[in-house]
Amino acid sequence: MSLKIYNTLSRRKEEFVPLEPGKVKMYVCGPTVYNLIHIGNARPMIVFDTVRRYMEHKGYEVNYVSNFTDVDDKIIKKAIEEGVDAEVISTRYIAECKKDMEAMNVRPATTHPLATQEIDGMLQMIQTLIDRGHAYKAADGTVYFRTRSFQEYGKLSHKNLDDLRGGNRSLLVSGEDQKEDMLDFVLWKPKKEGEPYWESCWCQGRPGWHIECSVMSKKYLGDEIDIHAGGEDLIFPHHENEIAQSEAANGKTFARYWMHNAFLNIDNRKMSKSAGNFFTVRDISEKYDLQVLRFFMLSAHYRSQLNFSDALMEAAKNGYERIVTSVENLNFLLENGGTEELSDAERELLQEAERFAARFDEAMDDDFNTADALSVIFELVKFANTHAGRESSKAFLQTLKEEIVALCDICGLIVERQAEMLDSDIEALIAERQEARKAKNFARADEIRQELLERGIVLEDTREGVKWKRA
Ligand code: AMP
Ligand code: ZN
């Protein structure tokens, strides 16, 4: 079965054909880092991490780039409030964001570029745009993109240039009176007092928001990429402007498939920092295992709006736990018995079970329909609960368990909790650490401490020797 992706550009599901066989180049617009991320921001992270995992499951090598916007008005405002440099704020919230990502089992991108580290590339692209007549410098040093010079402007958001001109006041930005045309947007702007700035031949200043993604995508993935993604609020103007900049500068099609997740709402309104109607990922982690949040996000198709509510989170919790319990059950049966011989009846049942994997792929091939894919996992769980028992063979139990775990893994759902370490295993590792320290092999000693920490065991070196406790 071939993979179909809904492309915002054509407004149709299209068969996915990569630029280079077996490889996917994918860019996902990341968060602006001035605060803890909210669960609306978490939606694209979870959705596109799942897209990446599924692509890998299909055998593609995925080069996944996702930026952090680390220079922006909101970051600067927060820095001024706290009396610190903007970098202190962005560094802090990048670290916090990475913790949240890990807790949601969102894998780190292949590269996470930072806007402030890519200024040279931005200066170069802006100069190319000026040289080609697609950009100009205004009297105060601001550089604008000449929107009308890009014939295809509006092709992603399906807007008509003249309609836009008609009256979208939100397009106006500071310095607007110096623009040649109301539709022109900022590529570079002069610094204001107390703001971070960089030298350029136009003025001391900083980049506009859109240019960073065009530049980082070009640097880490090349002029043409397969997939560009983000939340649907980015379609216009951010992604429309990225297309204009990249295609005008590079003379090539920027991205072949544009994917956009719908909003996570609360009381039927978009969750956002500015509206104040948000929960951070951290808030949710106090009440739920974040795997439940992940399950909740995947229980709807990514292009459907999703309303956050306690009732839906409770339903997600029940659903997730049903899978975890089934896996626990299979593990219990495996540890406490399981016959040696796979029977003919079991062989037939396993053949039947294989069909769940095929149906899971079918659902995901249809524009990543995770809602249907989770239903298939439930059917498999029900099948396992019905057919696995004390009389089952080890091979039968193991195969069923592996199939459930593998399908969940494609969704990034961890459903098999690590068994608690036995006291004897912990003590053996502590003894090995002592030996390593005696032999001055501190690297190994640290490694063991870390390994134990990851399994929830904290060591304390005391005068009476090493003590340990479960965290
Ligand atoms: P921002 O930090 O606002 O630039 O957002 C980072 C990412 O989160 C972008 O892809 C946004 O489109 C996405 N996003 C922000 N709020 C929501 C929401 N309520 N639902 C879904 N996606 C969102
Ligand atoms: Zn972007």
**CATH number where 252 lies:** 3.40.50.620
pLDDT for the residue 177: 66
CA triplet 34, 36, 42: central angle to 5 degrees? 115
Alpha-carbon gap, residue 172 to 279, rounded angstroms:
31
Question: Is pLDDT above 70 for 359?
Answer: yes
pLDDT for the residue 160: 86
100-109, 133-142, 319-328, 422-431 — which is least confidently predicted? 422-431
Band of the pLDDT at 454, cuts 50, 70, 90? confident
**Ligand 1 test: best mutation among 41, 67, 296, most atoms within 8 Å of CB?**
41
Name, in order, each residue with C-beta under 8 angstroms of 63's C-beta and a sequence gap of 6 or more.
Answer: 23, 24, 25, 26, 110, 220, 221
Evaluate whether residue 75 is within a structural domain.
yes
Question: Is the C-beta atom of 68 inside 6 A of ligand 1?
Answer: no
Q: Is residue 441 located within the same domain as residue 333?
A: no
37-46, 74-83, 264-273, 458-467 — which is least confidently predicted? 458-467
pLDDT for the residue 222: 98
**Mean of pLDDT values over 267-290:** 95
The CA 40 to ligand 1 mean position distance, Å, reads: 6
Band of the pLDDT at 43, cuts 50, 70, 90? very high
Question: Is the C-beta atom of 208 inside 6 A of ligand 1?
Answer: no
Question: Is the C-beta atom of 264 inside 6 A of ligand 1?
Answer: yes
Which domain range does residue 323 map to? 312-410
pLDDT for the residue 165: 66
Evaluate whether residue 213 is within a structural domain.
yes
Q: Is residue 24 located within the same domain as residue 131?
A: yes
Q: In the predicted model, what is the mean pLDDT of the chain? A: 94
Q: Is residue 343 located within the same domain as residue 459?
A: no
**Mean of pLDDT values over 286-295:** 97
Alpha-carbon gap, residue 124 to 278, rounded angstroms:
38
Q: Is residue 346 located within the same domain as residue 245?
A: no
Alpha-carbon gap, residue 463 to 469, rounded angstroms:
16
Domain count, the chain: 3
Evaluate whether residue 286 is within a structural domain.
no
What DSSP assignment string belongs to 259-321?
Answer: EEEPPEEETTEE--TTTT---BHHHHHHHS-HHHHHHHHHTS-TTS-EEE-HHHHHHHHHHHH
pLDDT for the residue 453: 86
Alpha-carbon gap, residue 43 to 294, rounded angstroms:
9
Question: Is the C-beta atom of 41 inside 6 A of ligand 1?
Answer: yes
Q: Is residue 59 located within the same domain as residue 205?
A: yes
Q: Is residue 352 located within the same domain as residue 241?
A: no
Question: Is pLDDT above 80 for 243?
Answer: yes
pLDDT for the residue 455: 80
* Better-scored residue on pLDDT, 452 or 383: 383
Alpha-carbon gap, residue 340 to 330, rounded angstroms:
15
The CA 243 to ligand 1 mean position distance, Å, reads: 19
Neighbours of ion ligand 2 (CB under 5 A): 29, 213
Q: Is residue 448 located within the same domain as residue 374?
A: no
Tell me the percentage of the chain whose pLDDT exceeds 70.
97
Contact 312, 296 (CB under 8 A): yes
Question: Is the C-beta atom of 31 inside 6 A of ligand 1?
Answer: yes
pLDDT for the residue 71: 92
Alpha-carbon gap, residue 244 to 25, rounded angstroms:
20
Question: Is the C-beta atom of 40 inside 6 A of ligand 1?
Answer: yes
* DSSP H or E segment with residue 255: strand 255-261
At CB < 8 A and 24+ separation, what contacts does 105-110 make?
105/49, 105/290, 105/291, 105/294, 105/412, 105/413, 105/414, 106/45, 106/46, 106/49, 106/412, 107/49, 107/52, 107/53, 107/412, 109/28, 109/64, 109/65, 109/66, 110/62, 110/63, 110/64, 110/65, 110/220
Band of the pLDDT at 337, cuts 50, 70, 90? confident
To which residue do tokens 């090598």 refer?
61
Evaluate whether residue 283 is within a structural domain.
no
Task: List, for residues 159-211, the tens digit of each pLDDT value.
Answer: 988 877 654 545 445 555 689 999 999 999 999 988 999 999 999 999 999 99
pLDDT for the residue 450: 83
Residue 412 phi/psi, 5-degree rounding, is: 75, 15
Residue with CA closest to ligand 1 atom 14: 41
Q: Is residue 183 located within the same domain as residue 251?
A: yes
Question: Is pLDDT above 90 for 291?
Answer: yes
Highest mean pLDDT among 84-88, 334-338, 420-424: 84-88
